[in-house]
Amino acid sequence: MKSSSVKELLLTAPTLQEVQVNGWVKTFRSNRFIALNDGSTLNNIQCVVDFEQFDENLLKQIATGAALRVTGTLVESQGRGQKVEIQVKEIFVHGGADPEAYPIQPKKHSLEFLREKAHLRVRTNTFSAVMRVRSALAFAIHKYFNENGFYYFHAPIITGSDAEGAGEMFRVTTLDDKNPPLDENGQVDFKEDFFGKETNLTVSGQLEAEAYAMGLGKVYTFGPTFRAENSNTSRHLAEFWMIEPEMAFYDLDANMDLAEDFIKSVIHYILENCKEDLQFLEKRLLDEEKTKPQAERSEMTLIEKLGFVADNSFKRVTYTEAIAILRNSKPNKKKRFQYPIDEWGADLQSEHERYLVEKHFKCPVILFDYPANIKAFYMRLNEDGKTVRAMDILFPGIGEIVGGSQREERLDVLREKIAALDIDEKELWWYLDLRKFGTAVHSGFGLGFERLVLFATGMGNIRDVIPFPRTPQNAEF
């Protein structure tokens, strides 16, 4: 007999047909009611057991967390909140779960506790909802680019280039620990580490995507990227997924238009396709916010916030305008910024970004035309000689969600920049080739996928929106 998913059954009319379903027990009440879930939906199917008809030893194995196959008739439910239930005829226990040992019991567990049970937490409502939304967002992203003339491009994970020039890379090594190659001073020669070459895990697929945009026109990457920065914040991971579109013949304005349209489109997609999960996450957030002082609670619910972002224009402001706003403002009556903005040219801290988005403009903000000296080497220099065609998108509650730019397409200017930063031209020979042969205006950006999932789900910590987070403390799973 073909098994159905819980989601399918809950949408089926109670026509007394014979059905079969597999899943994990959420609760087993009064030796009679099994709430079964298989991950296909947030809701459980109620399975009603006539315990006198079942072997006592079998019933003993039915506990929260056990995996079952249930066969029975689909009948109209007498219970509230559900249309159908299964009148159970047969139960097969795939595997039990000892209640003394199984950590995910039917009660509220803290997110911190569940982080230590990363292999089991997806069986909770919160994590299954987050991971279904994550999956839907990934699908919406591919859908958007495919419908807009982009090709999906696979950037290498192991690479010789430091795309961001920030030196936050994990080295890749094939070194034989016991017998490593040594340099003239008897030290391990790391230059030899990848079959005789120096390599690292990619921090961004951008440089390679630029090469492909200059042949395929419009491409995007969607893959894991790695940063060896030792930052323990609720917004940083050592391994995160990034979406990086790159477009030939796009200037910064076209780049900003695309980024805004893209983000709105994927948010619309989940608003339409993840209603049940979003309603659940909205309720979770409201409950969490009840514990906070009134002033810290958000004015909009999760779904209102998503709708607001999807339907309203992002505010576009130059770095210079933003600095003027920040200089003239006090974040609140008593306090100044922890890092006061005194000089043009200083990098913005997250307190500044959040002030602009959450207090001043009260909407997503695209900041552009940043000082050249605080941005990466590949960004296009403006005519003023001191700013570059960079853009960051800042989101309420998140801060920076996108970083992008128009790229420097002029060989001579790029060479000067590389020399000024003491980067060895030899490392970028192929990147410079792109400016020698058929160079053109082009642009792109990177969206941090987990930051988007954070925003979409209303979760507070980036460790809770990726299945197995990699942070300086955690690579156990």
Residue number with CB closer to ligand 4AD (96 or 217): 217
State the binding string over 231-250 for ligand 4AD (x if CB under 6 A, else -): -----xx--x-x-x------
**Residue 168: alpha-carbon gap to chain centroid:** 20
| 444 near Mg ion, judged by CB under 5 A | no
If the CB atoms of residues 323 and 447 are measured against ligand 4AD, the closer one turns out to be 447
CB 20 within 8 A of CB 4: yes
Listed ranges 9-17, 97-105, 269-277, 397-405: which one lies at the site for Mg ion (CB under 5 A): 397-405
The nearer residue to Mg ion, 364 or 403, going by C-beta atoms, is: 403
Cα 78 to Cα 195: distance, rounded to the nearest angstrom: 68
Smaller CB distance to Mg ion: residue 127 or 314?
314
Using CB under 6 A, pick the residue from 65, 446, 458, 469 that binds ligand 4AD: 446
Q: Is 380 in the site for ligand 4AD (CB under 6 A)?
A: no
Tallying the residues shown for the chain, one arrives at 477
Closest CA to 237 of 450, 393, 30, 459: 450
Tokens of residue 107, six digits: 């009660």
Binding mask 150-169 for ligand 4AD (x = CB under 6 A): -------------xx-----
Nearer to ligand 4AD, 86 or 209 (CB): 209
Backbone CA torsion sign across 369, 375, 379, 382: positive
Q: Which member of 38, 369, 450, 464 binds ligand 4AD (CB under 6 A)?
A: 450
Residue 14, CA atoms < 13 Å, CB-side half-sphere = 13
Regarding 455 and contact with ligand 4AD (CB under 6 A), the answer is no
Helices (H), 92-241: 111-115, 125-147, 206-216
- Nearer Cβ to ligand 4AD, position 403 or 458? 403
With CB under 5 A as the contact rule, the residue among 65, 403, 458, 469 that binds Mg ion is 403
Minimum CB separation of residue 50 from ligand 4AD in Å reads 52
Burial (Cβ within 10 Å: 0-12, 13-18, ≥19) of residue 104: buried
Is the separation of the CB atoms in 266 and 137 below 8 Å? yes
Q: Is 364 in the site for ligand 4AD (CB under 6 A)?
A: no
- Contact residues for 282 (Cβ-Cβ < 8 A; gap 6+): 301, 302, 303, 458
Q: Does 469 bind ligand 4AD (CB under 6 A)?
A: no
User: From the list Mg ion, ligand 4AD, none, which binds 204 (C-beta under 5 to 8 Å, kind-based)?
Assistant: ligand 4AD
* Min CB(297)–ligand 4AD separation in Å: 25
Contact between residue 236 and residue 227 where contact means Cβ atoms under 8 Å apart: yes
Of these partners, ligand 4AD, Mg ion, none, which one is at the site of residue 446 (CB under 5 to 8 Å by kind)?
A: ligand 4AD
Residue 86 binds: one of ligand 4AD, Mg ion, none (C-beta under 5 to 8 A by kind):
none
Q: Which does 389 bind (CB under 5 to 8 A by kind): Mg ion, ligand 4AD, none?
A: none
CA angle, residues 201, 205, 208, in degrees to nearest 5: 115
| Residue nearer to Mg ion on the CB measure, 396 or 403 | 403
Beta strands in 328-410 (DSSP E): 365-371, 387-395, 399-406
Size of residue set near ligand 4AD by CB under 6 A: 22
Name the residue nearer to ligand 4AD (CB basis): 120 or 254. Answer: 254
3-state SS assignment for residue 433: helix
Amino acid at 442: H
**132 binds ligand 4AD, rule: CB under 6 A:** no
Give the nearer residue to ligand 4AD in terms of CB position, either 9 or 394. Answer: 394
**Which listed option, Mg ion, ligand 4AD, none, makes contact with residue 444 (CB within 5 to 8 Å by class)?**
ligand 4AD
Cα separation, 285 vs 386, whole angstroms: 43
Is 33 buried (19+), middle (13-18) or exposed (0-12) by CB count in 10 A? middle
**Residue 148 has what DSSP assignment?**
T
How would DSSP label each residue in 190-206? Answer: GGGTBTTB--EE-S-SH
Binds ligand 4AD by CB under 6 A, chosen from 123, 389, 435, 451 = 451
Contact window for ligand 4AD (CB under 6 A) among 141-149, 247-255, 337-345, 444-452? 444-452
In the sheet with 387-395, reading across from the earlier edge strand, the strands are 151-152, 218-226, 239-248, 442-448, 399-406, 387-395, 365-371, 315-318
> In the complex with ligand 4AD, which residue's Cβ is closer, 14 or 460?
460
- C-beta closer to ligand 4AD: residue 305 or 375: 375
Max Cα-Cα span within the chain: 85
458 binds, among Mg ion, ligand 4AD, none (CB under 5 to 8 A by kind): none
Q: Tell me the window of 102-110, 172-180, 229-237, 468-476 that interacts with ligand 4AD (CB under 6 A).
A: 229-237
The β-bridge relationship of strands 84-95 and 45-48 is: parallel
Contacting residues toward ligand 4AD, per CB under 6 A = 163-164, 204, 206, 227, 229, 236-237, 240, 242, 244, 400-404, 444-446, 448, 450-451
Contacting residues toward Mg ion, per CB under 5 A = 403
